[in-house]
Amino acid sequence: MIDTHAHLDSSKFSEDIDEVMKRALSAGVTSMYLPNVDDESLVRMNCLQERYPNHIELMLGLHPCDIKGEWEKILDRYDKLWEVNPSAFIAVGEIGLDLYWDKSNIGEQIQALNRQLDWCLKYDKPFSMHVRDAWEPTLKVLRERKCPELNGVLHCFTGSLEIASELIDMGHYLGIGGVATFKNSNVVNVLSEIGLDRIVLETDSPYLAPVPYRGKRNESSYLQNIAIFLSDKLDYSFEYVDQVTSDNANRIFQR
Ligand SMILES: [Zn+2]
């Protein structure tokens, strides 16, 4: 299994990352894709990849909540990192729009998003996108930029069936994680309509742990719980959920 979105570089793992990795591997989670968030996370991610070169892949991008201060200069620096060694990164991420915490800088967030989407086209990479309280402007950006070469994963997808269908029509994939297991979550209803053909699995560790760990620290081994939950609710075998979502991840992340 592939955990397509996990912040394993988080300080929440600084004490026991080796145990966390061991548990992930014994749960059958053999690849973890780490999105970059800000300048400090990149340093920690590099260390982790050196330690687990066969299991950890890195993304490069600036999170929408970090579009503040010197963000343009940070993107200038990331421009150079992409230029020097595009094969160091599996995807552009974590990028997106977040209007939950701050609506005032939406113009800058959209500017940063478009600038980072250019990397997808220039270096032939998918994106891993964060959307919070921002479906309307996100869909607008994606509609305007629609082209067969630009696609990626809408991570931690919790949107409506209508939004899911439009994203899939545009060629994108949906990242499904622990939120699907929460009471009152609409994710399973959406998946029962659209199936698993465009679904990849993720934990978003250390956040959003699935039931029965809800509220606790999340980790990549819990991807298994998410897959079991989906196979239960959607009446598929575990092997099918594992196979289809892993194949999807390999397709969109070009492995
Ligand atoms: Zn994330």
* Contact present, 174 and 167 (Cβ < 8 Å): yes
3-state secondary structure of 132: strand
222 Cα–ligand 1 center, Å = 16
128 Cα–ligand 1 center, Å = 9
Distance of CA 10 to the CA centre of its chain: 15
AA letter at 124: D
* Contact present, 215 and 240 (Cβ < 8 Å): no
d(CA 6, CA 204): 4
95 Cα–ligand 1 center, Å = 9
In the numeric block, the tokens 């994106």 are attached to 127
Q: What is the pTM of this model?
A: 0.97
* Contact present, 209 and 222 (Cβ < 8 Å): yes
7 Cα–ligand 1 center, Å = 6
Residue 29 has pLDDT above 90, yes or no: yes
* Contact present, 177 and 220 (Cβ < 8 Å): no
* Contact present, 22 and 220 (Cβ < 8 Å): no
- What is the mean pLDDT of the segment spanning 3-9? 98
**Residues written for the chain:** 255
93 Cα–ligand 1 center, Å = 9
Residue 212 has pLDDT above 90, yes or no: yes
Residue 192 has pLDDT above 90, yes or no: yes
Q: Which two tokens stand for residue 222?
A: 């819990």
Around 91, how many Cα atoms within 13 Å sit in the side-chain half-sphere? 30
Residues 6+ apart with CB under 8 A from 60: 36, 42, 78, 81, 82, 88, 89, 92, 93, 119
pLDDT band at 207 (very low <50, low <70, confident <90, very high): very high
Domains of the chain, with CATH numbers?
A: 2-252 (3.20.20.140)
* Model pLDDT, residue 227: 98
Closest CA to 3 of 220, 152, 242: 220
pLDDT band at 39 (very low <50, low <70, confident <90, very high): confident
Q: What is the CA radius of gyration of the chain?
A: 17
* Model pLDDT, residue 38: 87
Longest dimension (CA), the chain: 49
* Model pLDDT, residue 72: 97
243 Cα–ligand 1 center, Å = 24
pLDDT digits (tens, 9 = 90+) for 92-126: 999 999 999 889 999 999 999 999 999 999 999 99
pLDDT band at 74 (very low <50, low <70, confident <90, very high): very high
4 Cα–ligand 1 center, Å = 10
